[in-house]
């Protein structure tokens, strides 16, 4: 009965070969693996006193660090380890992550038109400060209602980057740019943002997308840039410094937020980032409102409410969840569709006109998005 007792050791591992019989191996008592088994028949299969033996599967029984590994003929070096999660997200998780990231892109595509509406009644500084305060109130209320504990100290640095890039930096710089720039011209930032985010991700998280991914990403960015520059007449404005600064700081915030969303829920990432900004946003709102005149209209109020609740909180919640599910590089490439969606909203909400190049650019961008989502990385 030594073979039977060795199979029940705490560190026992049962290994099934590809074509041979089941073998019981004990890491704690290696000598027992070669001991004769009185219950073994001549055919090489161990007799089971409780039922027929199976020659192609094995299981280790015990309460210690056991593992069951099964192999299949012709399966190569693949197999399944019981109790372990499969490497990489499941197909359903990837689909859900893609859908969530796409919802985030749709919410973001309304940011520039909503900001243009908000600027009809608010100054740029008061608009940004008020949207941050309102979004922080929504996020803080959710965190308080659900009794979410404070984030770990090791996450504070990452949350600070998210707050500086996504909560304060990008909204402020793009709002300042939209004072003199059209939404079509500002869409150049969003056209470059997916490629910049992928670059930041490669540097920060060590992600290494394939060559096909980079080629498709660069092609999509080039198509969006060409279209948006042509849409704005090809002229550079003084707002370009704000736009390129917003591009860099937002890419850093997206990358850090996507990394944090792997270890904590995405809505908590943006929620705590918004709460961290309250010591700055509340005094900033009071000072800005005292210096900049406010004219409340249907457009201005709607614009502020959307950029606060939709763009600043709800959109980022689903966006970070999507990035955590499908990866930062692939999620970032879905933003290639954001400038085109922004231009559609600009036509419907602001009365701007599109050129005939819009459908051609849309088709090119969709092809690039498909290639980036299928590329191995």
13-22, 210-219, 253-262, 305-314: lowest mean pLDDT where?
13-22
Rounded Cα gap, residues 166 and 54, in angstroms: 58
Q: In what order do the strands lie in the sheet with 80-81?
A: 22-26, 12-16, 67-70, 80-81
Which of these, 126, 129, 254, 119, lies nearest to 182 by C-alpha position?
119
Q: Within 10 A of 34 (CB to CB), how many other CB atoms are there? A: 7
Per-residue pLDDT reduced to its tens digit, 131-145: 999 999 999 999 999
Rounded Cα gap, residues 185 and 157, in angstroms: 33
Q: Token pair 């933003």 is at which residue?
A: 335
* CB-count burial class (<10 Å; 0-12, 13-18, 19+) for 301: middle
Listed in sequence order, the residues at least 6 apart from 302 whose beta carbon sits closer than 8 Å to its beta carbon are 114, 117
Give pTM, 2 decimals.
0.66
Q: Rounded to whole angstroms, what are the CA distances from 179 to 173, 174, 238?
A: 10, 9, 10
Per the structure block, which two tokens stand in for 324?
A: 């955590």
**What residues pair up with 80 in beta bridges, in sequence order?**
70
Which of these, 216, 236, 230, lies nearest to 334 by C-alpha position?
216
* Residues 224 and 333: beta-carbon distance below 8 Å: no
Measured at the alpha carbon of residue 113, what is the angle toward residues 110 and 116, in degrees to the nearest 5?
A: 145
Q: Token pair 């705590």 is at which residue?
A: 272
Phi/psi at 261 (5° precision) = -65, -10
> 81 or 91, which is more confident?
91
Mean pLDDT score, 293-317? 91
Q: Within 10 A of 33 (CB to CB), how many other CB atoms are there? A: 14
Mean pLDDT score, 95-111? 89
Rounded Cα gap, residues 341 and 279, in angstroms: 34
Going by pLDDT thresholds of 50, 70 and 90, the confidence category of residue 323 is confident
């Amino acid at each position: 009965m030594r073979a039977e007792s060795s199979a029940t050791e705490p560190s026992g591992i049962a290994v099934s070969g590809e074509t041979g019989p089941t073998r019981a191996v004990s890491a704690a008592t290696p000598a027992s693996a070669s001991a004769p088994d009185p219950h073994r028949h001549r055919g090489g299969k161990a007799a089971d006193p409780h039922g027929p033996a199976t020659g192609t599967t094995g299981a280790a029984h015990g309460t210690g660090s056991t593992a069951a590994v099964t192999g299949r003929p012709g399966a190569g070096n693949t197999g399944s380890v019981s109790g372990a999660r499969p490497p990489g997200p499941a197909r359903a998780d990837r689909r859900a992550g893609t859908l969530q990231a796409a919802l985030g892109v749709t919410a973001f595509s309304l940011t520039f038109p909503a900001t243009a509406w908000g600027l009809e009644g608010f100054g740029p500084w008061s608009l940004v400060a008020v949207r941050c305060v309102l979004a922080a109130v929504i996020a803080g209320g959710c965190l308080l209602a659900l009794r979410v504990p404070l984030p770990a100290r090791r996450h504070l640095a990452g949350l600070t980057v998210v707050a500086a890039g996504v909560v304060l930096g990008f909204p402020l710089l793009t709002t300042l740019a939209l004072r003199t720039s059209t939404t079509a011209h500002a869409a150049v930032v969003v056209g470059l943002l997916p490629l910049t985010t992928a670059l930041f991700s490669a540097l920060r998280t060590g992600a290494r997308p394939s060559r096909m991914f980079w080629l498709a990403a660069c092609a999509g960015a080039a198509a969006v840039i060409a279209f948006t520059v042509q849409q704005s007449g090809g002229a550079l404005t003084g707002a370009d410094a704000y736009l390129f600064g917003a591009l860099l700081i937002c890419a850093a915030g997206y990358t850090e937020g996507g990394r944090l969303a792997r270890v904590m829920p995405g809505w908590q990432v943006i929620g705590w980032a918004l709460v961290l900004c309250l010591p700055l946003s509340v005094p900033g709102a009071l000072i800005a409102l005292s210096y900049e005149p406010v004219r409340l209209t249907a457009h201005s109020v709607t614009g502020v409410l959307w950029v606060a609740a939709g763009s600043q909180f709800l959109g980022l919640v689903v966006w970070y969840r999507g990035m955590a599910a499908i990866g930062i590089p692939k999620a970032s490439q879905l933003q290639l569709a954001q400038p085109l969606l922004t231009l559609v909203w600009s036509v419907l909400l602001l009365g701007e006109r599109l050129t005939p190049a819009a459908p051609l650019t849309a088709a090119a961008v969709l092809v690039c998005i498909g290639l980036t989502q299928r590329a191995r990385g």
